[in-house]
Amino acid sequence: MNQNLFKEYEGIFAPTPEEVGGPTESVGQAKKEKVFGYSPFALQDAIGEKNVKKAWIEYEKLRLAGIEAEELIYKIVSKAMHMSAIIEGANAEDLGIKDYPYSKSKKDSRNWREEDLKKFYTKLIEIHHKSRMESNNELDISLEKTLLSI
């Protein structure tokens, strides 16, 4: 097997210096700030862009950071649900979200066809329910396959 297969992704999953040394603190700063090696919303942005490669990379970053697939599926489902509702004419008040997430979802909904988005949403709900009902069904594998099929 080729050793340079993942050369393109080299350094993406490596921890940042802040992660290795812990939270950073400046001289005049009394309160420590938590430094993330990933963006919690980058996965939603990649899905909104309908970018398979970026969505998979962000998913893997989150999984390697210790975030469970159970937590991630809720973020992905909410993004798909908001985009689908916006396509059908919902506004921020109808969805119960603030203006920035609404405008972001509205912009992202232009990247999706309505039927593709509904199929994606249905598939997400289906794999979530199957993972709850069947003991041998692994949510993380099913979620990864679904993300790769965007």
- DSSP structural state of residue 9: G
Residues 15-35, mean pLDDT to the nearest whole number: 52
- In sequence order, the β-bridge partners of residue 33 are 24
pLDDT over threshold 90, residue 23? no
- In sequence order, the β-bridge partners of residue 24 are 33
| 109-116: Cβ within 8 A, 24+ apart | 109/48, 109/83, 109/84, 111/48, 111/49, 111/50, 112/50, 112/83, 112/87, 114/84, 114/87, 114/88
With pLDDT > 90 as the criterion, what percentage of the chain qualifies? Answer: 69
pLDDT over threshold 50, residue 139? yes
pTM over 0.85: no
Digit-coded pLDDT (tens) for 45-100? 999 999 999 999 999 999 999 999 999 999 999 999 999 999 999 999 999 999 99
Rounded-to-integer distance, Cα 101 and Cα 118, Å: 20
CB of 96 closer than 8 Å to CB of 81: no
Domains and CATH numbers, the chain: 39-148 (1.20.272.10)
pLDDT over threshold 80, residue 126? yes
Rounded-to-integer distance, Cα 138 and Cα 29, Å: 44
Digit-coded pLDDT (tens) for 30-39? 444 555 566 7
Closest CA to 80 of 38, 44, 37, 41: 44
Q: Which helix (H) or strand (E) holds 93?
A: helix 92-95
One-letter amino acid of 8: E
Residues 13-32, mean pLDDT to the nearest whole number: 53
CB of 46 closer than 8 Å to CB of 147: no
pLDDT over threshold 70, residue 115? yes
